[in-house]
Structure 1
Amino acid sequence: MGELRSKAEHTEAILTGRRICVVVNTHSRRGRRLYPRVIGTLRAEGFEPIRAFAVVDPRRLRATLDAALAESPDLLVVGGGDGTLSAAVKHVAHRDVALGVLPLGTTNNFARSLGLPLDVPGAIRVFSTGKVADIDLGVAGDREFANLASFGVSVEVAGKVKPWLKRLLGRAAYPLTALTILPRHRPFRAFITADGRRHELLTHQLNIANGRFHGGWQVARDISIDNGRLVAYQLGSGKRLRLLLETLVRATTGRWRSLAGGPFVVGQEMYLETDPPMAADVDGEVRLMTPITIRTVPNGLRVMVPAHFVDS
């Protein structure tokens, strides 16, 4: 979509020109409550938005993002959960505009992968003290994604977790909902071909990650959203008891694992087959089925990050 400025030029344009548009998902109670604070804090940091949009109807989100981008901002500030930010990623990808992330969701996986503060003042401060980085995207079939493609029990969890439980417990709502589904969930067999090697596993849950976080917890210390690699990993095995125990551990400790010591498959492109065929949850959208090819798009998205973010 045209030639991109250098990252240094783009950073300078944001810090000096301060041409921004703002889109906040106010359908959620948190977004509605924080919207005035977002605008006030932006102004206090020296940003006067060209236009600001409060999205009450989620069905209008994509049209609203188009309207914001039509103003040609240097920085598009988007506030919401991972679903809202996933929609924004698809609009901003490959454009000469940077995405400014306001983490207003439950798990905030994307913001965590970027090393962003999770409070409104801290996240906004990055817009005036940070830098523009180019990060990787994943592509599942023809759908670009920022965080994760997942298969198995999590697809059911995403459809059944209660909004009131998310408000009450935050990110712990997801593994706790999984515990109610697992007793009747049947395992599936997955075949992953990556870098010429074929891997077979039996599991209840398979994830293929571009980002570093899942469910608000770090998957592993040495995963990066900017290293040109995808990481596939299973939660538990085909045995329900093992997955129940691992889910409980994840819910209570968010334990760290390393690529060097965990059950990971790493590659730039992966071909996934499952028996039986499975639905794919791609950053919250369940529209694809296996078999499916998933690959990385290096430097597919411009985003504003803290100055200490390692941009490769």
Structure 2
Amino acid sequence: MRSKQELQSTIRGTGRAVLVVNVRSRRGRRLYDTARDLLREAGLDFARVFPVTDPGRLGELFEEVLALEPDLVVVGGGDGTIAEAVGHLAHRDIALGVLPLGTTNNFARSLELPVDLPGAVGVLRDGKVADVDVGWFEGTPDGDAGQAGKHIFANMVSIGLSVHVAESVPHDLKRVIGRAAYALTAARLLPRHKAFEATIRIGDDTYEMATHQLNVANGAHHNGQRIARDASPDDRLLAVYRLGDRRRLRLASATARHVLTGQWRTLDEDAFLTTDEVRIETDPPLRVDVDGEIRGRTPMTIRLLGNALRVIVPQSFVDT
């Protein structure tokens, strides 16, 4: 592996870059031509450009990308597209550049990237290479979804109401009103949602709780909002937290507090359990959302993979 400075020098010199844009993402199709123009004006050249019209082929496409032996892969799309890229680029001597073209752009926000296109292109031009953490999810295979139950993730593992919201939110509504589509869908589903019991094991400690929503975060944002002011994808921590208890109204109030106070609270508060590995069982067993995709069921084990991903971030990003 090259040092971060060596990789950065190569990218700015004779390095090979590849561009992948999901033109099915919320803003991908509308902004694809604008992105190409801005990248060209910034002096960023690409050996190959892949406009993706079928997100189901992303895994196959990234194998083709890796065969080109790039130094930089710039990916435009939402959190699902970025998560697919992370799964292929982790533990490789390749930098990931992000063009946030999705609805919530949680991973981009966690990297402190501007979510406007000119700002994100500016970071690709003037930013630096940093090493950040990713997570490893290992759950029970979900035969219904055909998933293997193992996956590298960038931002978040969730169980509970958010899984049903992700499966039910109308794509056209999300395209029109953005993040608000998730809140409206959650409000529609909450009256019928059943609470579950969760057993959380961290080292020798066991925690029992009832809730409608349980999250394990590697990144710093959920639904476009900051989790805690000191949360970062470069802090060597997974943050485990629930939203409310078994009462539905508590979920709504806890979500509101999350939105309103996340930027001020810290991971030291009682609301969070922090660790580098956690085992979670639920009653009943539940399907698990891993960066926006159903990847298996509980019980599950989640581990932190420290400094496993190379990314382009602003110069101001604190890289440890």
AA at the equivalent of 1:6: S
SS in structure 1 at match of 2:29: helix
SS in structure 1 at match of 2:296: strand
Q: Which residue pairs with 1:246 in the alignment?
A: 254
AA at the equivalent of 1:161: V
Distance 1:266 1:195 in 2: 11
C-alpha contact 2:26 2:78 (8 A) present in aligned 1: no
CA apart distance, 1:262: 4.2
Q: Which residue pairs with 1:108 in the alignment?
A: 105
C-alpha contact 1:41 1:121 (8 A) present in aligned 2: yes
User: 1:148 and 1:9, CA in 2 relative to 1: closer, same or farther beyond 3 A?
Assistant: same
CA apart distance, 1:248: 4.6
Aligned identity (percent) is 52
Q: Which runs of 5+ in 1 are unaligned?
A: none
What are the equivalent positions in structure 2 for 1:38-57 lying under 5 Å apart? 38-57=35-54
Q: Which residue pairs with 1:27 in the alignment?
A: 24
Q: Which residue pairs with 2:88 in the alignment?
A: 91
User: 1:106 and 1:29, CA in 2 relative to 1: closer, same or farther beyond 3 A?
Assistant: closer
Alignment pair present for 1:222 and 2:219: no
Distance 1:28 1:87 in 2: 13
Distance 1:27 1:260 in 2: 39
Alignment pair present for 1:277 and 2:290: no
AA at the equivalent of 1:93: A
C-alpha contact 2:26 2:103 (8 A) present in aligned 1: no
Q: Which runs of 5+ in 2 are unaligned?
A: 139-149
Alignment pair present for 1:268 and 2:276: yes
SS in structure 2 at match of 1:17: coil
Choose the corresponding residue for 1:79, options 46, 54, 76. 76
Distance 1:307 1:60 in 2: 33
User: 1:254 and 1:216, CA in 2 relative to 1: closer, same or farther beyond 3 A?
Assistant: farther
C-alpha contact 1:76 1:98 (8 A) present in aligned 2: yes
SS in structure 1 at match of 2:188: helix
User: 1:295 and 1:29, CA in 2 relative to 1: closer, same or farther beyond 3 A?
Assistant: closer
The count of aligned residue pairs is 308
CA apart distance, 1:282: 0.7
Q: How does the TM-score come out when normalised to structure 2?
A: 0.92
Distance 1:158 1:281 in 2: 8
Q: Which residue pairs with 2:147 in the alignment?
A: none
AA at the equivalent of 1:280: V
CA apart distance, 1:71: 1.7
C-alpha contact 1:152 1:204 (8 A) present in aligned 2: yes
CA apart distance, 1:172: 2.2
AA at the equivalent of 2:254: E
C-alpha contact 1:20 1:77 (8 A) present in aligned 2: yes
AA at the equivalent of 1:110: F
SS in structure 2 at match of 1:89: helix
Q: Which residue pairs with 2:185 in the alignment?
A: 177
C-alpha contact 1:81 1:103 (8 A) present in aligned 2: yes
Greater Cα shift, 139-148 or 64-73 = 64-73
Distance 2:297 2:10 in 1: 42
SS in structure 2 at match of 1:281: strand
SS in structure 2 at match of 1:291: strand
Distance 2:255 2:172 in 1: 21
| 1:262-294 CA-partner distances (Å, limit 9, x unpaired) | 411110100111111111111112131111111
CA apart distance, 1:81: 0.2
Q: Which residue pairs with 2:210 in the alignment?
A: 202
Q: CA RMSD in A?
A: 1.5
C-alpha contact 1:179 1:247 (8 A) present in aligned 2: no
SS in structure 2 at match of 1:116: coil
Q: Which residue pairs with 1:37 in the alignment?
A: 34
Alignment pair present for 1:134 and 2:134: no
